[in-house]
Amino acid sequence: MSHLTELFKYVDDHQDLYVQEIPLPPIILGQLGSDPAKKTVCIYGHLDVQPANIDDGWDTEPFTLVEKDGKLYGRGSTDDKGPVLAWFNCIEAYQKIGKDLPINIKFCFEGMEESGSEGLDDLVFSRKDTFFKDVDYVCISDNYWLGKNKPCITYGLRGICYFFIEVECGGKDLHSGVFGGSVHEAMTDLIALMGNYLPLFKVIDHLQKKFAELGSPNKLKVNMGHGAKAWVSDFNHPHYMAGRKAMKTVFGVEPDLTREGGSIPVTLTFQEATGRNVMLLPVGSSDDGAHSQNEKINRSNYIQGVKLLGAYFHEVSLLE
């Protein structure tokens, strides 16, 4: 038994080896250029993706990029590894032709966007007076055209709000053949709560009130998971006008101006932390299938997208 004392002491002294916080993926900050005579644009993108397995219904291995019929298939091809790579290919093109970038660029790339951008808000606000201090504009390419043929620029996001409702009934599992119909089951309460209109605000208060009206002997727990506020910007801002001119230069048409039903939580964070205009400049098409099987980006969208980003750099450099 004497060895147990030594064993227990070792475990106590090294408990961090056994009980650890899960480390978050690193957030990558980078910079190209620091010319005070040039505008500085912060580019955001994310490198994490949704889970994928060929058994989910993919026609190809999801983590092997495959080109077929002018389409590039693979998880992250449009959300968001493809657009992130397009920024780098645009910068590479400037280098290959021996031209200096017309703007300064700051990068902010993360690996937790698909999980609510855990930790990113804190970092952005903590660096707002240092790394992000001299940013003039923020540009994000993490969304999609409204259709398949005409490009768009996005100036608004709906935001998102998750709530978890838990109803607890019996303290142990019961046989439905014996107790079914005689026990007040949790599912009955959940259906009653979720089957009526939920107000846009005061969700928790509303659910607690409705639950009290049921007279149920069960216990209710409601809590909010992660969420993101709605965001809207001014599509007539000079930054947007630069984006619109870039779109017309490459595609020959004025882009659609859209607001999306999705959410990119850090969009509003950048706007609030920097006090600067934020614009969403999509590369992908509406049928790319982000988050779905056989996610793809059209080869033409990608190549034209690289040109678009180059034209965007040029137009921003001309802003007063």
Name the active-site residue from 79, 113, 121, 260: 113
What is the C-alpha end-to-end distance of the chain, expressed in Å? 79
48 is catalytic: yes
Q: Is 16 a catalytic residue?
A: no
Q: In angstroms, rounded to a whole number, what is the distance separating the alpha carbons of residues 132 and 42? A: 8
To which H or E segment does residue 76 belong? Answer: none
Helix (H, G, I), strand (E, B) or coil at 80: coil
What does the alpha-carbon distance between residue 228 and residue 265 come to, in Å, rounded to a whole number? 5
Which ranges in 49-171 belong to alpha helices (H)? 81-96, 120-126
The interaxial angle of helices 186-194 and 203-214, nearest 10 deg, is 130
CA distance 61 to 77: 13
CA-nearest of 76, 139, 128 to 104 is: 139
Q: How far apart are CA 290 and CA 286, in angstroms?
A: 9
Q: If residue 228 lies in a helix (H) or strand (E), which one and from where to where?
A: strand 219-228
d(CA 246, CA 94): 16
Which tokens is 240 given? 């947007």
- How many residues belong to the chain? 320
Q: Are 163 and 208 in contact (CB under 8 A)?
A: no
- The catalytic residues are 48, 113
